């Protein structure tokens, strides 16, 4: 037997999975719930939630910033977009997306415009005119000379063997009947466009699986034989719409579509509605398709130092500067893959792009190496994978250096991250009810919460010590099983546990409520700072269990800087 005094003054690794309990180099915990790890390594009870208002339906949160510095919270619900400013609802707009569609809606903002994409809907544009918002369908620019539009065209794989016989139609000289050598057309082709005979055609009528009627602006000559060299508009009702979007080097970038999942379309420079590749001049549009041994489905695209392309099987980057049709330096750097069951927007954290991996169990940090040449996908939750569950939403608060991941069980996994101070600590947030969505706007973290069949918009408030002035919540931090001198303790008897606290009014240690000096519960009264302890009179512990636990449920501030235990042990 040997006596011991063991002090833990840093909890920088947060809650770690049981398989790491035997490691000596971890400043971790076996449980961390409703507490944050501070920059100095200590623990603090999370702040409470303040209600903004109730919602008629569950939804998704998105932040929107305008040039004058004003910040808005967008709440997407079933067919509606509610817009909040200074925690007051200022507008209600109609949208095309049902609630079930929202998990695949992606978006990108530039100045007072935000463009939304979904593989089954035409892109929608949200405009802010300085006074109010309005939403409209995204439109490709039109050429006045022939009324064609600058939409990209491709030859889809299932059309590679389709030849079109062009014949006259009795509607007029600008109309023709297109007859294919096999069944190909569907009613969804109506209003779609083709590129054929060096002209752009608009399909006006569906006749049969082998025949449609099309219109072109201008005269044309009937070809003497079936045409094999033709292409379809990349986007439309038949082929689907862009799946992902970003702005990069003053180009609008669409990544993937329903029927061309590996395509990347980039607009002309400064002309974000123009996807005409022209003659390949430096400022004209660009189209590339990812080629590899595996089928590449683009999950999202991210504008960083390079244009990052996250697919279901790997991470690509285009490093060309400037990016022109003749210089597209693209390569795959890593093979992790991104989560595809719903859109979880990648977050920018300390210069890296943080994304959820394809299996949903890892959060990866895509960052360039020291030479700035190759990306690595570092695992941010290597010690705490058990906390992630099934991810539903994600957001990062750069002011607090805190990453929030909403889980399918209604709780949140929360990462306190400060690389310069060695803090990378995961824990769990719980509330009465279920977290449904999270976003950060103007330094505040907003959440949608469902409580007792009531759905509300709320935010974490440093001045709140309960949730929505009604619900208290418990907090818990438990230490790791005792190890000493590099050994697991076989038998242990703890005599005393001491916590060094800061501005604390209430705390329990191993189930014992601690009486604090000058304990005053008035809201205006300062908490106690100093050492508090409990004498356990030789309490025996199972050595695989936590050596100590602090917890509480009363609505008062609690901060713990360190924990010391002393007693004896046997290996």
* Tens digits of residue pLDDT in 364-389: 999 998 887 899 999 999 999 999 98
At residue 62's C-alpha, the angle toward residues 55 and 417, to 5°, is 115
Q: Residue 79: what pLDDT? A: 97
Mean pLDDT of 220-245: 97
Q: Where are the beta strands (DSSP E) in 469-553?
A: 475-478, 483-484, 487-488, 491-504, 508-509, 512-513, 528-540, 549-552
Give exposure, 81-116, as e/b (b: 16+ Cβ within 10 Å): bbbbbeeeeeeebebebeeebbebbbbbbeebebbb
Q: Band of the pLDDT at 487, cuts 50, 70, 90?
A: low
Among 1-10, 275-284, 351-360, 450-459, the least confident range: 1-10
Give the whole-angstrom CA distance, residue 476 versus residue 14: 12
- Whether residue 271 is predicted with pLDDT greater than 80 in this model: the reply is yes
- pLDDT at position 88 over 90: yes
Output the pTM of the full model: 0.94
Give the mean pLDDT of the chain.
Answer: 93
Tell me how far apart the alpha carbons of residues 131 and 385 are, in angstroms, rounded to a whole number: 45
Phi-psi sector, 207: left (phi>0), alpha (psi -120 to 50), beta = alpha
Assigned token pair, 57: 């339906």
- pLDDT for position 520: 59
Chain centroid to Cα 347, Å, comes to 6
Per-residue pLDDT at 538: 77
In this predicted structure, what is the pLDDT of residue 482?
A: 80
**Tokens found for residue 227:** 């045409």
What pLDDT is attached to residue 568? Answer: 84
**Does residue 428 register a pLDDT over 80?**
yes
282-326 residue pLDDT tens: 999 999 999 877 889 999 999 999 999 999 999 999 999 999 999
Residues 6+ apart with CB under 8 A from 228: 162, 163
pLDDT top residue among 565 and 145? 565
Confidence of residue 523 (pLDDT cuts 50, 70, 90): low
Q: Please report which confidence band the pLDDT of residue 484 belongs to, taking 50, 70 and 90 as the band edges.
A: low
What strand order describes the sheet that includes 315-318? 298-303, 307-311, 315-318, 330-334
Q: Look at residue 1 and tell me whether its pLDDT is greater than 70.
A: no
Task: Tell me what the mean pLDDT of segment 410-436 comes to.
Answer: 96
Q: How far is CA 298 from CA 104, 123, 250, 309, 399, in A?
A: 13, 17, 21, 7, 31
- Map out the domains of the chain with their CATH numbers: 2-46+475-570 (2.60.120), 153-233 (2.40.10)
> How high is the pLDDT of residue 486?
66
Q: Which of 369, 359, 354 is nearest to 405 (CA)?
A: 354
Do the bridges between strand 48-55 and strand 454-461 make them parallel or antiparallel, or are there none, so unpaired? Answer: antiparallel
* DSSP sequence for 349-398: ETTEEEEEBTTSS-EEEEEE-TTSS-EEEEETTTT-GGGT-SEEEEEEET
| Residue 514: predicted pLDDT | 87
Q: For 109-118, 209-218, 527-536, which range has the lowest pLDDT when averaged over its residues? A: 527-536
Burial class (CB in 10 A: 0-12, 13-18, 19+), 46: buried
Q: Convert the pLDDT of each residue in 46-87 to its tens digit.
A: 999 999 999 999 999 999 998 778 999 999 999 999 999 999
Question: CA torsion angle for 359, 333, 397, 370 (degrees, to 10)?
Answer: 140
**What letter does residue 150 receive in the DSSP assignment?**
-
Measured in whole angstroms, the distance separating CA 136 from the mean position of its chain's CA atoms is 25
């Amino acid at each position: 037997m040997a006596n011991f005094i063991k002090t833990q003054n840093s909890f920088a690794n947060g809650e770690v999975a049981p398989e790491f309990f035997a490691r000596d180099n971890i400043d971790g915990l076996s449980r961390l719930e409703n507490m944050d790890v501070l920059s100095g390594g200590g623990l603090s009870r999370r702040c409470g939630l303040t209600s903004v208002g109730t919602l008629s339906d569950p939804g998704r949160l998105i932040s929107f910033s305008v040039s004058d510095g004003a910040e808005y919270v967008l709440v997407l619900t079933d067919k509606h977009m509610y817009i909040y400013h200074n925690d007051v609802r200022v507008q209600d707009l109609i949208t095309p997306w049902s609630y079930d569609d929202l998990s695949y809606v992606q978006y990108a903002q530039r100045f007072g415009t935000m463009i939304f994409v979904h593989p089954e809907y035409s892109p929608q544009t949200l405009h802010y005119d300085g006074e109010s918002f309005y939403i409209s369908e995204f439109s490709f620019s039109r050429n006045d000379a022939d009324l064609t539009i600058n939409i990209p065209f491709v030859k889809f794989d299932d059309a590679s063997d389709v030849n079109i016989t062009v014949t006259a139609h009795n509607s007029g000289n600008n109309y023709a009947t297109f007859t294919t050598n096999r069944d190909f057309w569907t009613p969804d082709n109506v209003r779609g466009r083709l590129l054929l005979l060096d002209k752009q055609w608009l399909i006006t009528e569906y006749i049969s699986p082998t025949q449609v009627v099309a219109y072109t602006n201008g005269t044309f000559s009937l070809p003497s034989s079936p045409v094999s060299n033709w292409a379809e508009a990349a986007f439309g009702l038949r082929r689907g719409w862009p799946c992902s979007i970003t702005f990069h080097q003053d180009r609008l970038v669409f990544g993937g579509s329903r029927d061309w999942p590996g395509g990347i379309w980039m607009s002309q420079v400064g002309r974000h509605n123009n996807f005409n590749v022209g003659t390949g001049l430096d400022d004209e549009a660009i189209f590339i398709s990812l080629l590899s041994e595996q089928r590449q489905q683009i999950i999202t695209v991210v504008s960083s130092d390079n244009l990052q392309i996250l697919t279901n099987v790997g991470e690509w980057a285009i490093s060309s500067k400037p990016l022109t049709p003749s210089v597209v330096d693209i390569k795959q750097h890593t093979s992790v893959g991104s989560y595809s069951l719903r859109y979880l927007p990648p977050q920018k954290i300390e210069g890296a792009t943080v994304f959820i991996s394809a299996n949903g169990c890892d959060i990866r940090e895509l960052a360039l190496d020291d030479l700035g040449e190759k990306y690595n996908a570092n695992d941010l939750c290597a010690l705490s994978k058990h906390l992630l569950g099934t991810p539903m939403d994600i957001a990062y608060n750069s002011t607090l250096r805190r990453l929030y991941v909403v889980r399918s069980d209604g709780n949140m996994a929360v990462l306190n991250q400060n690389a310069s101070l060695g803090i990378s600590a995961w824990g769990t947030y719980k509330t009465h009810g279920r977290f449904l969505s999270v976003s950060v706007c103007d330094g505040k973290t907003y959440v949608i919460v469902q409580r007792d069949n009531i759905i509300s918009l709320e935010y974490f408030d440093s001045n709140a010590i309960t949730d929505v002035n009604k619900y208290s919540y418990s907090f818990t931090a438990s230490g790791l099983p005792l190890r000493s001198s590099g050994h697991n303790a076989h038998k242990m008897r703890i005599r005393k546990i001491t916590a060094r606290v800061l501005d604390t009014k209430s705390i329990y240690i191993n189930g014992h409520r601690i009486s604090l000096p000058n304990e005053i519960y008035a809201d205006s009264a300062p908490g106690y700072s100093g050492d508090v302890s409990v004498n356990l009179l030789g309490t025996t512990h199972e050595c695989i269990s936590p050596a100590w636990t602090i917890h509480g449920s009363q609505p008062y501030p609690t901060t713990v800087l360190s924990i010391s235990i002393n007693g004896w042990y046997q290996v």
